[in-house]
Structure 1
Amino acid sequence: LLYSPLDLEPQVLLPLLSGIFGASSLILSLTTKVQIPRQTESKIKMPGSTLAKAVLSGGLGGSLVAWIPGVSPSVASIAARLGSPGTAEEFLVSIAGVNSANALFSLVALYVIDRPRSGAAAAIQQLLTLDQNIMAQMMIMAVIVVLASYLATIAAAQLAARSISSLNYPRLCIIVLVFLLAMTYAFTGLFGLFIFFLSTIVGLIAPVAGIHRIHAMGVLMLPLIVMYI
């Protein structure tokens, strides 16, 4: 049923995930009239033990979900903070640990079990066959990229913080929403727009019901579990 009016390769995950996690958040922001406060720069002070705990919990969670089909790093981020919500700074550190560890161990999972557990790993599998030498080179490159991205993020955040408060946030949300609709139609046609509409409704149910939107990942996990059973 999916077709692309532009003869592109249809991808059902595009309207599905864009609606659940993208369009629903944009619509919610428009209805609640979110205002971006003026940003001020401040230093984050965390005790060494707290920092180590956040890094270890995030790294462990990211390394585990890299092996499990259908489980995203977002699930690991939530699981890493269960029973210990902590501060916003701790949560950010644990998320960084989850994403970094997941990026590294998704390569390990691809090499060991020959199963891609992320989009990047799937692209690598299509481009080349991993051996020990290529694996070692890619791991080194991944560590270098993590360090470089850390420095780049800090520099980009300082620039963004000075300008983001002056943006017309509702207009930005509308532009992104229109872009998602156009991209969905370009890749999946009218039936893709129908999936996008339904998934957006599902994405809106979570905040209205007072639950985490991450539970909507069941749309991937349940079919995968049934398929492997």
Structure 2
Amino acid sequence: MRFILACLISLSFLSASDYIGTTTQNNDDFEAEFNTKNSENLFDPLSGYNEVMTSVNDTFYEYLLRPTAQGYAYVVPEMARHGVSNFFENIFYPIRLVNNLLQLKFYNSLEETERFVLNSTMGILGFRDVAGEELGIKAHDEDLGQTLGHYGVGNGFHVVLPLFGPSNVRDIAGLAGDMWLNPITYMKGRHDANLLDNSNQAMAATAFYTINKTSLHVKEYDNFKKDAIELYPFLRDVYESRRTKLISE
């Protein structure tokens, strides 16, 4: 049970990043990326289930996540919300570091370490992205799903996960490894002896991260949906194309 819960926690962070990330690209990048893969070539044996789950997730977004994020944005200034986003990205450093190393991207690993040290110190625990904003040291986002893809593991079939959105078999398989690298997994109460005995803290951190990130991208998601004739195949194709592009970089 703890293992499943830990996977869900890791999944929430990775999926939020990918799901929201599809809405924040500029139009030129989006067009180039979307056209890299023909939707007819996607293996989608769960299309019926996936369409239903996409509708469920979108309803959850429209009636719960979006209003909550908008209320949060009304109370918390945008600068503070960006700071929170920077803080979470900083503590995900182990995921990026290890997966860059596994892909033999040693220079990227060095830059990730430089970013972590600079942002954790000069950036006040990561609330400011000093490395990126002032020194031009960019993050190199990698996860185990990308690492598996780098070594030739195929996507497998597409799966829409409850609440968390688009994914595929390979990316879901990558969650187990990323779970052990995600610091949020190890959040414990003062008297806890075992991993995730106090799951409430980790789940609260997950919810906070998701609400904060959503609050920064509400308009982008709304604009993104306007371009979709059918929401499920649109999200599926963009997700799979985006993951393919990330793996190739």
TM-score, normalising length: structure 1: 0.29
* Greater relative contact order (CA < 8 Å, ≥ 6 in sequence): 1
TM (norm. structure 2) is 0.27
Bigger radius of gyration, 1 or 2?
1
Larger fraction in helix: 1
